[in-house]
Amino acid sequence: MAKTVKKFETEVQQLLDLVIHSLYSNKEIFLRELISNASDAIDKIKFESHSNMELLEGNADWKIKLHADKEAGTLTITDNGIGMSMDEVADNIGTIAKSGTKNFVAALKEQNLTDNPELIGQFGVGFYASFMVADKVVLTTRRAGDKQYGCRWESTGDGSYSIEECEKETRGTEIVLHLKDEMKEFLDEWKIRSIVKKYSDYVQYPVVMDITRSEPVKDAEGKVIEGGGTIDTTTEETLNSMKAIWTRPKSEITEEEYEEFYKHISHDYDKPLSTIHYSAEGVSEFKAIVYIPSHKPFDMFLRDHKKGVHLYVKRVYITDNCEALLPDYLRFIKGVVDSSDLPLNVSREILQEDVQIKRIQKSLVGKVLSTLAEMKEKNIEDYLKFYAEFGPVLKEGIHFDYANKEKLQDLLLFESSKTEKGKLVSLKEYVERMPEGQKEIYFITGMSRESVENSPYMEALRKKDYEVLYMTDPVDEWVVQAVHEYQEKHLKAIDRGDLELDTEEEKKEKEAKKEEAQKEFGGVIEYIQETLKDRVKEVRLSSRLTESACCLVADEMGLNANMEKILKAMNQEVPEGKRILELNPEHQIMQVMTAMFEKDKNNPKLADYSELLFDQALLTEGSPIKDPLRFTKLVSELMVTSGK
């Protein structure tokens, strides 16, 4: 058959231009695609040879060979796979986006065969990635079992191709890329090695290349001959490891191998805290090895931080930053997920939005959280190490992952008024040791243990001997917005809203005292309210103070001082709002101010004392006061007066 020149089918030039210029974001992917196609071809002949051994033609030494010729400017990729006939070349290569592999899989499904080889080429456009780097591509192929005819296909990517019969001694396919001048870097040994290592390291067949090295001439005993010059020696080296550790049974993998693989993918030279190796079968099939690191990476809170799970499809590398595999609050997880049935877009670079990826994420998240729960239950020391490093990140999930909120709640730990500094308690432990009369889970947010422990808000709780959770991570403010209750116990902030700590009898007794106090101090309370009307929402008697004179309280759903500080630190606008000034009716200052008020309602000292109370409340919660100079002046005057 003479050489025939044909036009590509479909809207050729537009599609070819798309593949060459737009489809792939990284030009080095061309080699991944060609190696993947070669791997598919070997898979096919291995499968078909089960029923017809003659197809092997005496050659079952599977390999994919690369050859870089710098003088000719060509890169050649050869395989001993199934090869193609003339009709298959015209059908599969002559038509863009028509995949022989896809048809092969469809045919197997029609025959209801179960032992299908895992094939990665599903779209038929990967071959055309060659034209990103080559201005001419020559493909020579012969189908296994057809020793009479081979086929040569050639194109410069201009919308047409030539095809002709030719002789080819061995089965399989050879692709010669005539590289563009600006793409000659792909002939360098180091470049080829790096691409194979990155994308095709775990392809199950050896990717080999002849490597030539100059060595000094040696004598028969192996000693270097002085002045003997050098001699070039060429050896065939395998560029990929083929060691996809995740495909092996757990029983065959040693701890050292798990650690070595972790260091390889994470670039972390410390041991991981925990290793999770499992296979998912059924609706969603994938294999995974993921690790919980022993310490957080330096860039974990940076905006451009990359997640650590590498995605493979049929052992071929896709990406090291698959955001769809794990939610952001598990971004510290390192590892590999290899799916056998994950749909990709035509470039294999970007995952399609598909229910399958959501299933993988659900399974993966569930496995990580159950592993953490087991660690917390059976190895608390390891869990505390994990929580010290990743607790604040894990807490982010409470706000965003509603489906797993209950599991995440059980993983939370906090310091409390009943723990020593640095010791932590879970919500479950808190509830288990609640006294009989306690109805709610009490907590306080703040910047440090010291600030919340010495807060006036703690006074009534301390008197009742009720435990209070100290929430001192900035993220805790968002955690409590999502966790409203635990085991039917409402979470109550002790610096917001009304605080009801008493039994019915105690409540009646306190109400009676409060009514008396209101009658006694009503006038001065109204005066303070009027004086501070621009700064406070309300002035009222407090049921939470036993020692301090005053405190500022937010509404039940309002912003407290800690949240305001966090928002300001984030350069966020803080909504304008006034809080409630609570006064301790048992504090002596109330009698002093009442006596002054009854004696002379126009006494200017009353206004000064009102401002001092407000500033005092700000200082005790750690907030700045408006006029520090005036505050110090008033305090100094008060000291002088009381000292006379």
pLDDT score of 194: 94
Q: What is the 3-state secondary structure (H, E, C) of 494-556?
A: CCECCCCCCCHHHHHHHHHHHHHHHHHHHHHHHHHHHHCCCCEEEEEECCCCCCCCEEEEECC
Mean of all residue pLDDT scores within the chain: 87
When pLDDT is averaged across residues 601-619 and rounded to a whole number, the result is 92
How far is CA 187 from each of CA 66, 179, 192, 214, 638, rounded to the nearest angstrom?
10, 9, 7, 19, 86
Listing from the earlier edge strand, what are the strands of the sheet with 550-553?
536-541, 579-583, 550-553
At residue 29, the 3 state secondary structure works out as: helix
* Pairing outcome for strands 230-238 and 150-155: unpaired
**Whether the predicted pLDDT of 233 surpasses 60:** yes
List the 485-486 sheet strands across, edge first: 425-426, 413-416, 468-471, 441-445, 489-493, 485-486
pLDDT (tens digit, 9 = 90+) per residue, 391-440? 999 999 998 899 999 999 999 999 999 999 999 999 999 999 999 888 89
| SS3 assignment, position 253 | coil
Residue 275 in tokens: 């290793």
For the question of whether the overall pTM of this predicted structure is more than 0.85, the answer is: no
**Does residue 117 surpass a pLDDT of 50?**
yes
Q: Which of 83, 101, 116, 79 is nearest to 206 (CA)?
A: 79
Q: What is the DSSP letter of 218?
A: B
Give the phi and the psi of residue 212 in degrees, each rounded to 5: -105, 130
Q: How confident is the model at residue 533 (pLDDT cuts 50, 70, 90)?
A: very high
Token pair in block for residue 607: 């206004």
pLDDT, tens digit (0-9, with 9 covering 90-100), for 25-60? 688 889 998 999 999 899 999 999 888 999 999 898
φ, ψ for residue 460, nearest 5 deg: -70, -35
Mean pLDDT to the nearest integer, 56-65 = 92
The mean pLDDT value for 558-583 works out to 80
Whether 494 contacts 457, CB under 8 Å: yes
Q: Model confidence at 346, in pLDDT bands (50, 70, 90)?
A: very low
Model pLDDT for residues 388-403, shown as the tens digit of each residue: 999 999 999 998 899 9
**pLDDT tens profile 301-338:** 666 666 678 888 888 888 877 778 889 999 999 999 99
Helix (H) or strand (E) holding 483: none
What confidence score (pLDDT) does residue 347 get?
A: 45
Question: What's the mean pLDDT in 491-498?
Answer: 90
Predicted pLDDT at 96 = 58
Maximal C-alpha separation, the chain:
121
Band (pLDDT 50/70/90 cuts) for residue 92 is: confident
Tokens at 644, concatenated:
């006379």
In degrees, rounded to 5, the angle at the alpha carbon of residue 252 between the alpha carbons of residues 247 and 256 is 100
For residue range 151-170, list pLDDT tens digits in order: 999 999 887 889 999 999 99
Residue appearing with tokens 């635990």: 486
Res 230 pLDDT > 90: no
pLDDT at 137: 96
Averaged pLDDT for residues 447-462: 92
Mean pLDDT of 125-152: 90
> What does the alpha-carbon distance between residue 342 and residue 355 come to, in Å, rounded to a whole number?
10
Task: Compute the distance between CA of residue 555 and CA of residue 578 in angstroms, rounded to an integer.
Answer: 9
Give the residue among 95, 89, 87 at the shortest CA–CA distance from 12: 95
Q: Above 60 in pLDDT, residue 247?
A: yes
Per-residue pLDDT at 370 exceeds 70: yes
The mean pLDDT value for 341-364 works out to: 68
- The pLDDT tens digits for 286-301 are 999 999 999 987 766 6
In order, the DSSP letters of 364-376 are HHHHHHHHHHHHH
Average pLDDT of the residues in 458-485 = 91
For residues 222 and 230, the answer to whether their CB atoms sit within 8 Å is: no
Neighbours of 211 (CB within 10 A): 13
Contact yes or no for 325/337 (Cβ under 8 A): yes
pLDDT of residue 301: 66
pLDDT at 246: 93
In angstroms, the Cα distances linking 77 to 13, 33, 36, 175, 347 are 25, 11, 11, 5, 20
The pLDDT value recorded for residue 99 is 61
Kindly state the average pLDDT of the residues 567-579. 77
Average pLDDT estimate for 534-541: 93
Structure tokens at 334: 């390192």
Model pLDDT, residue 3: 84
What sections of 227-354 are H helices per DSSP?
255-266
Q: Which of 19-23, 49-53, 376-380, 608-612 has the lowest mean pLDDT?
A: 19-23
Q: How confident is the model at residue 104 (pLDDT cuts 50, 70, 90)?
A: low
Quickly state the pLDDT bin for 124 (edges 50, 70, 90). low
> What residue has token string 């010669």?
176
